[in-house]
């Protein structure tokens, strides 16, 4: 099985004996309430999905990632994993060695062992990570509204975040790796999505299935934009598709607890690294992976992989052109396989599909399976 990024799968969950000691000691620690994005990061640090990270980045690693897309030890890492605090929190915790991290209900999640507290340049981070300083970019907006300091240090996970949805599909990297071994899959391709799967996605996945043992459909269920289709509706659409149109012994569904950054090319590298930790050997990278608006070129998320050696990433990206239904071919295709001009190609934008659904119109079967369209239409009316 493929090795985790950095060579070791991190586990920050403490054992029962350590937990009791830390709970007693935690009564003296200052408390920091963290939001859903930071909770997603914390969960993925703790369960090894973000190996080799064992905490939120210190200043040395943060600066290395921002400038070179590598950690300070030269391991590839493209997205800063940071915990921001505001000035008032800085005053409260600046002399603390241990800090309790809790959710908005004051439920203790972890204890952070403080390594450093440092100021950072929000504009520089926006330019480097998102390639824009435009506040309309959701990732940039998040950085601009967060605190002025970053808090770096390792974490000791006391309690898992409380989830009430998709329980049976919330598999840690240890669990997905065990399941792949049980199924005797040696090559596994990951498919990252925050959208319902339409016919073009299905085409890419089934092309990939021709060359690997198994497919992990790994939808993101953490924070997304307010106008993205909800995770609950998306999961219903995935399940009906898998039931009717995919070979059951070749496909697996598990949710990805990450928050979206919408960082385009850099996030594509991040998604690849994390899926390697889950045990995947390949990842599908299509058009505008992790993009938003017009901030990135259509295939920038593919080009960025050429900046790293195969040995550095150690996961194989599968690059696909924009797929479509060709009315003359009578099937799904891409510019690599279809000889006809664009007048025969059926493309539907997300905006156009949403407008149709709101009007009670089902998108054509050439774009999405009718069962999926029905689920989406019902979901849009809620």
Tokens of 330: 């009578």
Tokens 């990951």 found at: 190
Return the closest-CA partner of residue 188 out of 268, 254, 250, 258.
Answer: 250
Residues 276-309 have pLDDT tens digits of 999 999 999 999 999 999 999 999 999 999 999 9
Q: Which of 85-89, 114-118, 128-132, 337-341 has the lowest mean pLDDT?
A: 85-89
Does residue 37 carry a pLDDT above 80?
yes
Give the per-residue pLDDT at 41. 98
Q: Please, is 266 exposed, middle or buried when counting C-beta atoms within 10 Å of its C-beta (0-12, 13-18, 19+)? A: buried
CATH number of 167-381: 3.40.50.620
Quick one: pLDDT at residue 167? 94
Q: Which residue has the tokens 């025969």?
A: 344
> CA 220 to CA 50: how far, in whole Å?
15
Q: What is the pLDDT of residue 74?
A: 97
Mean pLDDT of all residues belonging to the chain? 94
**In this predicted structure, what is the pLDDT of residue 347?**
82
What is the dihedral sign for C-alpha 345, 349, 352, 353? positive
Of 203, 173, 369, 205, nearest in space to 282 by CA: 205
Structure tokens given for 366: 């050439």
How confident is the model over 203-252, as pLDDT tens digits? 999 999 999 999 999 999 998 887 778 889 899 999 999 999 999 999 99
Contact 245, 270 (CB under 8 A): no
- Cα maximum dimension of the chain: 71
CA 31 to chain centre: 27
Task: Give the residue-averaged pLDDT of 157-175.
Answer: 95
Cβ(359)–Cβ(237) below 8 Å: no
Counting Cβ atoms within 10 Å, is residue 213 exposed (0-12), middle (13-18) or buried (19+)? middle
**If you average pLDDT over residues 193-209, what whole number do you get?**
91
From residue 246, how far is each of 66, 94, 100, 215, 374 by CA, in Å? Answer: 40, 53, 45, 10, 19
What are the extents of the domains in the chain? 16-157, 167-381
Provide the token pair at 101.
Answer: 């991290």
User: What are the pLDDT digits (tens) for 148-159?
Assistant: 999 999 999 999
Backbone angles phi, psi at 365, to 5 degrees: -65, -20
- Distances in Å between the Cα of 319 and the Cα atoms of 214, 222, 262, 367 are 17, 25, 19, 21
SS (H, E, C) 295-347: CCCCCHHHHHHHHCCHHHHCCEEEECCCCEEECCCCEEECCCCCCCCHHHEEC
Instruction: Report the SS3 class of residue 38.
Output: helix
Tokens of 351: 């905006």
CA 76 – CA 273 distance, rounded (Å): 9
**Which structure tokens are listed for 69?**
């897309």
Name the burial class of residue 377, with classes exposed (0-12), middle (13-18) and buried (19+) by CB atoms within 10 angstroms of its CB: middle
SS3 content of the chain, % helix, strand, coil (to 5): 40, 20, 45
Name the residues annotated as catalytic.
194-195
Domain 16-157 in CATH 3.10.400.10: yes
Helices (H), the chain: 16-25, 36-46, 59-68, 87-93, 122-125, 138-145, 173-182, 199-209, 231-245, 265-277, 300-303, 310-313, 350-358, 370-381
Question: Would you state the pLDDT for residue 326?
Answer: 94
């Amino acid at each position: 099985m493929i090795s985790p990024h950095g060579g070791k799968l991190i586990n920050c969950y403490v054992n029962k004996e350590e937990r009791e000691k830390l709970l007693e000691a935690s009564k003296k620690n200052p408390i920091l309430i963290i939001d859903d994005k930071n909770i997603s990061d914390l969960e993925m640090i703790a369960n090894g999905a973000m190996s080799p990270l064992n905490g939120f980045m210190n200043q040395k690693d943060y600066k290395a990632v921002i400038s070179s897309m590598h950690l300070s030890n030269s391991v590839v890492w493209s997205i800063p994993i940071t915990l921001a605090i505001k000035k008032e929190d800085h005053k409260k915790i600046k002399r603390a060695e241990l800090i309790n991290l809790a959710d908005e209900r004051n439920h203790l999640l972890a204890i952070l062992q403080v390594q450093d507290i440092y100021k950072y340049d929000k504009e520089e981070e926006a330019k480097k990570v998102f390639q824009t300083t435009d506040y309309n970019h959701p990732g940039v907006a998040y950085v601009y509204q967060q605190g002025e300091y970053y808090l770096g240090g390792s974490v000791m996970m006391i309690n898992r975040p409380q989830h009430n949805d998709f329980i049976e599909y919330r598999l840690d990297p240890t669990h997905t790796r065990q399941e792949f071994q049980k199924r005797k899959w040696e090559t596994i391709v990951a498919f990252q999505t925050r959208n319902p799967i339409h016919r073009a996605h299905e085409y890419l996945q089934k092309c990939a299935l021709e060359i690997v043992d198994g497919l992990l459909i790994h939808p993101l269920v953490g924070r997304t934009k307010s106008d993205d289709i909800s995770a609950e509706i998306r999961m219903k659409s995935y399940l009906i598709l898998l039931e009717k149109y995919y070979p059951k012994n070749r496909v697996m569904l598990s949710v990805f607890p990450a928050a979206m950054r919408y960082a385009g090319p850099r996030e594509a590298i991040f998604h690849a690294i994390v899926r390697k930790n889950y045990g995947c050997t390949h990842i599908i990278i299509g058009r505008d992976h992790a993009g938003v608006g017009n901030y990135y070129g259509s295939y920038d998320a593919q080009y960025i992989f050429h900046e790293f050696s195969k040995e550095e990433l150690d996961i194989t990206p599968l690059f696909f052109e924009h797929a479509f239904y060709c009315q003359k071919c009578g099937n799904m295709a891409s510019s690599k396989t279809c000889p006809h001009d664009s007048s025969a190609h059926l493309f539907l934008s997300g905006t156009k599909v949403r407008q149709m659904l709101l009007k009670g119109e089902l998108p054509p079967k050439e774009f999405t399976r009718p069962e999926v369209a029905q689920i989406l239409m019902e979901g849009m009316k809620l």
